[in-house]
């Protein structure tokens, strides 16, 4: 590298930088984890609303049964 001019060194540096794919896997895994996390959050929110609605209808039904028997 001692015989390289400054422009050649910079050119080689950018060529190596463009070909380097070492951090690419980490970014891909992070995107997958983010997508799965977002899907889980959405599912849990919808599921919790459905469960609250189910328990509400059950308590309303039990209350009406108790009120009718008295």
pLDDT tens-place string over residues 3-55:
667 678 778 877 777 777 667 778 889 999 999 999 999 999 999 999 999 99
pTM: 0.48
The residues spanned by each domain of the chain are 25-70
The pLDDT assigned to 69 comes to 54
- Residue 56 has φ and ψ, to the nearest 5°, of -65, -45
DSSP calls for 1-64? -TT--HHHHHHHHHHHHHH--TTHHHHHHHHHHHHHHHHHHHHHHHHHHHHHHHHHHHHHHHHH
């Amino acid at each position: 590298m001692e015989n390289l001019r400054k422009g050649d060194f910079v050119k080689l540096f950018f060529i190596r930088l463009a070909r380097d794919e070492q951090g690419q896997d980490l970014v891909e895994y992070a995107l997958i984890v983010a997508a799965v996390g977002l899907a889980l959050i959405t599912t849990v929110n919808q599921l919790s609303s459905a469960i609250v609605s189910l328990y509400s209808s059950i308590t309303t039904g039990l209350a009406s049964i108790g009120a009718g028997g008295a």
